[in-house]
Structure 1
Amino acid sequence: MKQITTIYKKETRTSMMKTGVFKAITLGLIICFTLSAGCASLPEEETPAQSTSSVSDTTPSVSDGEVDQVNYSTPIPTPTEEEKPEYSIPPDENISGPQYSVIYSKEEYLRYTVIPFDLDLKYPPLIFEYDLEIDTVTDVKAAYSEYGSKSEYSYTLKVPSQNAWYTISVYNNETGELVSSKELNHFGDTSVSGVFKIYGAGDYHIEISGNLVTANTTVMLPPENLN
């Protein structure tokens, strides 16, 4: 009986020792897992405040008084204006300038000729339009050939006559004083055209004269002078 009791006590001690060892191993494993979990820390999650701070490093701060002077780190492209065709309104052919009444219009060959008339001009202007054909003369020129024997030869030119002239004279009808005139002479071409105007009102004596000229002269004025 004592032997059985002793064997039972030994087995109980052995069982208790095994149980203690198992608990110690289990505790050690738990401690190791806990330490491993503590070492493998998760990365810190970026907060909204940190994100805003990183953006503000590239964007200048703007005060209330400097809103119009913001310079962005990334330039904003400026749109280019598209070229558009230009349009113009064609002139209306029905629109005309001032209307004038013709009081004299005649083509005449002038050979020391004077055409006089009187006019009381109350509403200026008084307009003279003229187209002239100048008499020509034949001019014979001598020259030498630049080729061969360089013999002398002659050629003819038709040039405006140096004796041709055309004049429009406007006088004060009461005093006879010359108010204005248009004098043409020493013509460089055989055809001449032009306009001559009187801008002041007055009682005038007018003379159209010329020599060696075929003159087509037209005199016009505002129609109010004829009422």
Structure 2
Amino acid sequence: MKWRGYLLIIVVFLAIAILCTGCITPPKETGPTSGNNGGQQGTVAATPTPTQQIIDTRYLTQATPYPTGSGPTPRTTYGNLPNATDEQPTVYKVIYLDTIDFTYSVSAYSTTITDPPLIIEICLSPKMVTRNIWYESRYTTREDVYTTQTYISPASYFEIRVRDKATGDIVEKDGFGKTYSVETKKVMNIRSAGEYLIEFSGNDIVATVQMRVPARDDPTVTPAMTLSCPTLAK
């Protein structure tokens, strides 16, 4: 009968269409790795330019960080702004300059500021992670499709807290990652005289920290330049 012939033609056509149709398997991806393996790229550690360490013990002494916890709410500090009629700009000197590679580490320094402001500048280089994702073809006549993604390590963070040394109150705080922005340059201005505890903590990140104070008592000092931060590689 004719309908059987038509049915046979339809079945043959469908079989040929299935054989000719190519498909791509679901994507596979490699998780973050710590090194190269079979051409795959792994974790890229931050490699900032080394800096000369400066710790002026006349102004800073190493201290014990404040006990962990939520801590008091940051309080606002006030200080006299420079007189707009001053003819000469303030000359600053560096009292601290160091590059620190953080791995779940904490450090702290105490300082007494008699001639504010204290300017704290920080350049941050978080660890970057690279992963490869490929879509594998089931047919040898078609090449696999590869894509690469580079992003900041999810474990990367940094925090600086400036506390009133006597009370433990947080005067200023800032950071990178977690609840903070991912801007790689941070600047703090402490405009009130007093005794402070300055704490640094972080992980998977390299921080270059510079602290400056006015050098009005030393007219021969070499003026300290603003800390210049490199652009975060993408």
TM normalised by structure 1 equals: 0.48
TM normalised by structure 2 equals: 0.47
Which of the two has higher C-alpha Rg?
1
The structure showing larger relative contact order (alpha-carbon pairs under 8 Å, at least 6 residues apart) is: 2
